């Protein structure tokens, strides 16, 4: 008997980041590679207390199967937290998922056919490419300028101006973006560009998957409202508690369009079926733990404010270290939130090929090419640096090592 794997497995990729994380477990390596929130930011005491109460007061329910949509009180809380004066989200629109990563997979399952066009930013979140790839879409690079993804590309790719003149004949199935403090670039799309994108979604009935795990991690001012707020009928919005509370809870959510949006009820029903096939439900204990934490009076907003403060100090430290140590022919922008710097190394630098040598020097990063569907030449020079897992002192040392690796240590400093 021989074992034959499904053809779709050829489209499955392992996350370059996870492979790199293995390398960085070596003692002495200062890793700028991970995408992990700072463990110091987890409210462990409050979680321990809430956890004990869940066991004591609702242990059996927490250990029982739960419904697939998620616990209603949690859906209500999420709906309220996401809603804005201009965007009312109802609990029925919320599907609790096992991390927003599961939301991406479920959306891939219900929205994508082999060969259908999916518009993605370049570079984009690697885990989204990983989630969508087994469904074999034809990824299309979303053209961008300094403001972010080009809204006219949506119109162009919507089939509205197709060669045949037939709307929909060659249309993209959906578009995917991370609007605020993107992974990997740290870029946030401004309000005018969001409005333009929303206008094109509304005009051409394109579906947007808006993935927003970092929106609350702003440093100086909050990012503009999600695009979903201006195009609710055409946007499927994903959020997560991973970056504001703890990723180990695996609590994410999908907000589907309101009932009256064409196809919304069908999308919701299919997502639910996909979720049932995938894991039946997100662990009830974890959902109850979050609800208990909140009913114990845990102030999530105050907590997130402390996370922001911590990350901002680390962001500032990295900005200073990069400025001080990196060669002049490197380039980056200081992110206004989130967890990452996106750095372009000097001419001729190959971030992927030279990573093992960097690890030998005791520093690690994620090579930029990993975040592209088809990496352009300049991607070889790019890398993603996380600033949230190391202390301020370690950040300085890590960037010093990186500068030595790039061959430019001290050039800026002198």
Ligand X SMILES: Cc1ncc(COP(=O)(O)O)c(C=O)c1O
Q: In this chain, which of 101, 207, 235, 314 binds ligand X, going by CB under 6 A?
A: 101
C-beta of 141 vs 167, nearer to ligand X: 141
C-beta of 213 vs 223, nearer to ligand X: 213
CB of 404 to ligand X, least distance (A): 29
Q: In this chain, which of 108, 123, 252, 345 binds ligand X, going by CB under 6 A?
A: 252
User: Looking up tokens 């993804």, which residue turns up?
Assistant: 149
C-beta of 215 vs 362, nearer to ligand X: 215
**Distances in whole angstroms, Cα of residue 196 to Cα of each of 4, 200, 227, 251:** 47, 6, 9, 31
CB of 326 to ligand X, least distance (A): 24
Beta strands 94-98 and 251-255: pairing type? antiparallel
CB of 211 to ligand X, least distance (A): 5
Of the ranges 67-75, 140-148, 187-195, 239-247, which one interacts with ligand X (CB under 6 A)? 239-247
The Cα diameter of the chain in Å comes to 67
Q: In this chain, which of 125, 311, 365, 387 binds ligand X, going by CB under 6 A?
A: 125
C-beta of 242 vs 256, nearer to ligand X: 242
Q: Write out the two tokens for 394.
A: 């370690």
Q: In this chain, which of 99, 226, 284, 345 binds ligand X, going by CB under 6 A?
A: 99
Site for ligand X in 165-194 (CB under 6 A): 178, 183
C-beta of 122 vs 354, nearer to ligand X: 122
How far apart are alpha carbons 180 and 247 in whole angstroms?
18
Binding mask of the shown chain, residues 372 to 391, with x at each position contacting ligand X by CB under 6 A: --------------------
How far apart are alpha carbons 145 and 137 in whole angstroms?
24
Site for ligand X in 127-156 (CB under 6 A): 127
Of the ranges 63-71, 96-104, 287-295, 367-375, which one interacts with ligand X (CB under 6 A)? 96-104
Q: What sign has the CA pseudo-torsion 99, 102, 107, 110?
A: negative
Half-sphere exposure of 300 (CA within 13 A, CB side): 17
Residues 6+ apart with CB under 8 A from 44: none
Element (H, E) at 75: helix 72-82
| 247 lies in the binding site for ligand X (CB under 6 A) | yes
* Cβ 136 vs Cβ 11: under 8 Å: yes
* Exposure class string for 70-88: b at 16+ Cβ within 10 A, else e: bbeebbebbbebbeeeebe
Q: Residue 136: which region, alpha, beta or left (left: phi > 0; alpha: psi -120 to 50)?
A: left
Element (H, E) at 148: strand 148-149
C-beta of 211 vs 409, nearer to ligand X: 211
- Which residue's CB comes closest to ligand X? 99
Element (H, E) at 267: helix 264-279
Instruction: Count the residues of the shown chain that bind ligand X, applying the rule CB under 6 A.
Output: 14
CB of 159 to ligand X, least distance (A): 27
Site for ligand X in 208-237 (CB under 6 A): 211, 213
C-beta of 103 vs 232, nearer to ligand X: 103
Of 293, 321, 328, nearest to 385 by C-alpha is 321
Of the ranges 80-88, 93-101, 195-203, 326-334, which one interacts with ligand X (CB under 6 A)? 93-101
**Length in residues, the chain:** 414
Of the ranges 95-103, 269-277, 318-326, 365-373, which one interacts with ligand X (CB under 6 A)? 95-103
CB of 340 to ligand X, least distance (A): 9
* Residues that bind ligand X in the complex, under the rule CB under 6 A: 35, 99-101, 125, 127, 178, 183, 211, 213, 240, 242, 247, 252
């Amino acid at each position: 008997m021989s074992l034959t794997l499904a053809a779709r497995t050829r489209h499955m990729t392992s996350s370059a980041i996870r492979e790199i994380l293995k390398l960085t477990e070596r003692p002495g390596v200062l890793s700028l590679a991970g995408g992990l929130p700072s463990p110091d930011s987890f409210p462990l005491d409050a979680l321990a207390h809430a956890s004990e109460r869940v066991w004591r007061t609702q242990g059996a329910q927490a250990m029982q199967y739960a419904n697939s949509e998620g616990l209603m009180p949690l859906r209500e809380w999420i709906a309220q937290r996401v809603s804005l004066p201009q965007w009312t989200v109802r609990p029925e629109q919320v599907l609790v998922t096992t991390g927003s990563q599961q939301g991406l997979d479920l959306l891939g399952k219900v929205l994508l056919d082999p060969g259908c066009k999916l518009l993605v930013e370049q570079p984009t979140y690697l885990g989204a490419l990983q989630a969508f790839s087994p469904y074999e879409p034809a990824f299309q690079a979303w053209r961008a300028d300094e403001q972010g993804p080009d809204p006219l590309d949506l119109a162009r790719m919507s089939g509205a101006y197709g060669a045949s003149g037939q709307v929909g004949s060659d249309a993209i199935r959906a578009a995917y973006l991370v609007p605020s403090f993107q992974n990997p670039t740290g870029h946030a799309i401004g309000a005018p560009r969001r409005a333009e994108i929303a206008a094109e979604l509304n005009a051409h009935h394109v579906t947007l998957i808006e993935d927003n795990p970092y929106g609350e991690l702003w440093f100086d001012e909050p990012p503009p409202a999600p695009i979903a707020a201006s195009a609710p009928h055409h946007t499927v919005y994903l959020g997560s508690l991973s970056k504001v509370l703890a990723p180990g809870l695996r609590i994410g959510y999908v907000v589907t369009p309101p009932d009256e949006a064409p196809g919304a009820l069908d999308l919701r029903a299919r997502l639910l079926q996909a979720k049932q096939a995938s894991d039946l439900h997100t662990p009830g204990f974890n959902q109850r733990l979050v609800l208990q934490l909140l009913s114990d009076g845990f102030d999530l907003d105050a907590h997130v404010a402390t996370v922001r403060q911590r990350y901002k100090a680390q962001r500032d430290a990295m900005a200073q270290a990069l400025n001080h140590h990196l060669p002049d022919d490197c380039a980056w922008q200081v992110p206004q939130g989130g967890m990452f710097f996106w750095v372009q190394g000097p001419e001729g630098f190959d971030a992927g090929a030279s990573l093992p040598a960097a690890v030998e020097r005791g520093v690690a990063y994620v090579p930029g090419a990993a975040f592209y569907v088809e990496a352009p030449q300049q991607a070889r020079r790019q890398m993603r640096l996380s600033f949230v897992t190391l202390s301020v002192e370690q950040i300085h040392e890590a960037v010093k090592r990186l500068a030595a690796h790039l061959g430019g240590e001290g050039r800026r400093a002198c």
